[in-house]
């Protein structure tokens, strides 16, 4: 169906075919077939829209987000033929046929494809299983001394107001004017600093109650990582769980009062994290280091906590400056319209599985763009 802002495309040219060819290069057909089969979505009979073509359609739908289903389908058909994936373009299916094909595919193959290509290239994370090698692999991110820098950030994306979407994601929030807005799906992402490549993501109804989406990402960090995060997407109640991963933390925690245990020469201090954010006392409080960092010209303090207790190994001024790098991940998300915080963009899908399928497609496009930019910037 037509969407706000949708435009009629001009005649497709070489640049559009190159874009489809890039998707084929970034996500080779063998890899796409592999994740489709692993997710149990392989066809039992011949179809006009086989699962592989639907995966490429979803990716193209996210890349050409202002064009209609029919226009995107024609681009995919001609682009796949131009890229050598077929002797000639297949007939363009109807919008209803595309919707049915998307529903058959579901979000799982797109999520599995993201997991395959977005895993960071770290010796501590060996390949999970034998599989075709993707051409867009994770890249080595920025480092601070002995740590690899990762950051958590998040955004909210508008979804069509349907009964199914309301049931999954809740009612639309009220705007400042009191008028109803679109329902919101939340995306919390773990990204490498430096490359800004997202290595893991969690999708769901809300990022705040219990910080359940952030908790899903903690399994992707390990010893040797330094995780940067803000209190909007983390809470001090998550610090013990994050510490259990073996990673070190540098988190902004907001105005929580923390008692001084021992002052350090660089102006930071050690304290026992005696509450979990609800002021309930802990029986085994972890020891953290607190850094009061001036945030802006008004002198407002940004209270940071870190599990790096050695002030000589990581001075407070260095960590305070390092924490500001976290905002680069937000800027990276803003490069993709659908993930931009506060953007008017609304996804197409009127059912939750389609919403998640579409979001994984946008995350795959984001990963491809970041990988290309990082490769182009290397000498």
pLDDT in tens, 229-284: 887 666 677 788 888 888 999 988 776 667 888 899 998 999 887 655 555 555 66
How much is the average pLDDT of 117-146? 55
| DSSP string over 19-87 | HHHHHHHHS-HHHHHHHHHHTT---SS--SS-HHHHHHHHHHHHHTTTS-HHHHHHHHHHHHHHTTSSS
Confirm whether pTM is higher than 0.85.
no
pLDDT at 15: 77
Phi/psi of residue 214, each to 5°?
Answer: -65, -40
Same domain, yes or no: 262 and 169: yes
- Backbone region of residue 342 per phi and psi (left: phi > 0; alpha: psi in -120 to 50; beta: other values): left
Domain count within the chain: 2
pLDDT at 331: 72
Same domain, yes or no: 147 and 272: yes
Q: Is the pLDDT of residue 201 over 80?
A: yes
pLDDT at 85: 65
Distances in whole angstroms, Cα of residue 25 to Cα of each of 29, 123, 135, 357, 366: 9, 25, 7, 21, 15
- Determine the Cα–Cα distance for residues 106 and 358; give it in Å rounded to an integer: 10
What is the band of 3 on the pLDDT scale with cuts at 50, 70, 90? low
What is the band of 156 on the pLDDT scale with cuts at 50, 70, 90? confident
Q: Pairing mode, if any, of strands 147-159 and 183-192?
A: antiparallel
Please indicate, yes or no, if residue 5 is contained in any of the structural domains.
no
- Determine the Cα–Cα distance for residues 18 and 75; give it in Å rounded to an integer: 10
Burial 282-308 (b: 16+ CB within 10 A, else e): eeebbebbbbebeeeeeeeebbbbbbb
Same domain, yes or no: 37 and 182: no
Q: Is the pLDDT of residue 307 over 80?
A: yes
Same domain, yes or no: 105 and 157: no
Please indicate, yes or no, if residue 37 is contained in any of the structural domains.
yes
Q: Is the pLDDT of residue 356 over 60?
A: yes
Distances in whole angstroms, Cα of residue 158 to Cα of each of 210, 263, 305: 22, 46, 33
Phi/psi of residue 252, each to 5°?
Answer: -85, 130
Same domain, yes or no: 359 and 328: no
Strand partners, 147: 144
What is the band of 116 on the pLDDT scale with cuts at 50, 70, 90? very high
Same domain, yes or no: 29 and 98: yes
Please tell me the number of Cα atoms within 13 Å of 113 on its side-chain side.
Answer: 37
Same domain, yes or no: 176 and 238: yes
pLDDT at 1: 46
CA angle 234, 238, 244 (to 5 degrees): 130
Instruction: Tell me which of 299-303, 333-337, 342-346 is least confident.
Output: 299-303
Same domain, yes or no: 149 and 255: yes
Q: Is the pLDDT of residue 122 over 70?
A: no
Please indicate, yes or no, if residue 220 is contained in any of the structural domains.
yes
Same domain, yes or no: 308 and 359: no
Please indicate, yes or no, if residue 6 is contained in any of the structural domains.
no
How much is the average pLDDT of 42-47? 71
Same domain, yes or no: 78 and 146: no
Helices (H), the chain: 14-26, 29-38, 51-63, 69-82, 95-105, 108-118, 163-169, 212-217, 239-244, 316-323, 327-334, 352-377
Same domain, yes or no: 147 and 73: no
Q: Is the pLDDT of residue 133 over 70?
A: no
- Where is mean pLDDT largest: 2-16, 114-128, 142-156? 142-156
Please indicate, yes or no, if residue 9 is contained in any of the structural domains.
no
Give the structural domain span for 88.
14-116+347-377
Strand partners, 186: 156, 204
Distances in whole angstroms, Cα of residue 194 to Cα of each of 48, 198, 377: 42, 11, 11
Please indicate, yes or no, if residue 129 is contained in any of the structural domains.
no
3-state helix vs strand vs coil in the chain, percent to 5: 40, 20, 45
Q: Is the pLDDT of residue 30 over 90?
A: yes
Reported residue count of the chain is 379
What is the band of 376 on the pLDDT scale with cuts at 50, 70, 90? low
Distances in whole angstroms, Cα of residue 65 to Cα of each of 49, 89, 155, 171, 361: 20, 21, 18, 25, 11
Contact 267, 304 (CB under 8 A): no
- Determine the Cα–Cα distance for residues 41 and 139; give it in Å rounded to an integer: 30
- Where is mean pLDDT largest: 130-144, 205-219, 300-314? 300-314
Express as a percent the part of the chain with pLDDT over 90: 25
Please indicate, yes or no, if residue 111 is contained in any of the structural domains.
yes
Higher per-residue confidence, 37 vs 299: 37
pLDDT in tens, 208-240: 554 788 888 888 888 999 999 887 666 677 788
What is the band of 178 on the pLDDT scale with cuts at 50, 70, 90? low
Please indicate, yes or no, if residue 297 is contained in any of the structural domains.
yes
Same domain, yes or no: 213 and 246: yes
Phi/psi of residue 360, each to 5°?
Answer: -60, -35
């Amino acid at each position: 169906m037509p969407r706000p802002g949708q435009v009629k495309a001009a005649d497709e040219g070489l640049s559009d075919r190159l874009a489809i060819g890039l998707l084929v290069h970034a996500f080779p057909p063998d890899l796409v077939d592999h994740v489709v089969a692993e997710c149990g979505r392989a066809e039992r009979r011949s179809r006009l829209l086989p699962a592989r073509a639907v995966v490429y359609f979803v990716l193209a739908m996210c890349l050409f987000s202002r064009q209609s289903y029919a226009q995107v389908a024609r681009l995919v058909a001609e682009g796949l033929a131009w890229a050598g994936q077929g002797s000639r373009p297949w007939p363009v299916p109807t919008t209803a046929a595309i919707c049915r094909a998307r529903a058959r595919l579901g979000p799982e193959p797109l999520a599995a494809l993201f997991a395959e290509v977005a895993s960071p290239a770290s010796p501590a994370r060996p390949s999970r299983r034998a599989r075709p090698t993707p051409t867009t692999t994770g890249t080595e991110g920025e480092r601070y001394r002995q740590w690899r820098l990762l950051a958590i950030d998040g955004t909210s994306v508008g979804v069509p107001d349907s009964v199914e979407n309301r049931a999954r994601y809740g009612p639309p929030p009220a705007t400042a004017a009191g008028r109803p807005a679109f329902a919101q799906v939340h995306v919390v992402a773990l990204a490498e600093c430096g490359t800004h490549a997202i290595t893991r993501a969690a999708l769901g109804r809300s990022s705040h109650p219990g910080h359940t989406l952030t908790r899903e990402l903690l399994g992707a960090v390990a010893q040797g990582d330094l995780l940067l995060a803000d209190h909007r997407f983390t809470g001090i109640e998550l610090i013990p769980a994050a510490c259990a991963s073996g990673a070190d933390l540098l988190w902004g925690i907001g105005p929580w009062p923390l008692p001084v245990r021992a002052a350090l020469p660089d102006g930071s201090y050690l304290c026992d994290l005696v509450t979990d954010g609800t002021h309930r006392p802990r029986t085994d409080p972890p020891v953290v280091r607190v850094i009061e960092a001036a945030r802006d010209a008004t002198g407002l303090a940004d209270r940071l906590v870190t599990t790096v207790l050695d002030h000589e190994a990581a001075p407070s001024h260095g960590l305070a400056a390092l924490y500001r790098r976290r905002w680069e991940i937000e800027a990276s998300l803003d490069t993709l319209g659908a993930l931009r915080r506060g953007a008017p963009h609304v996804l197409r899908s009127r059912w939750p599985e389609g919403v998640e399928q579409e979001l994984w497609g946008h995350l795959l496009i984001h990963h491809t763009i970041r990988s290309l930019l990082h490769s182009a910037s290397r000498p």
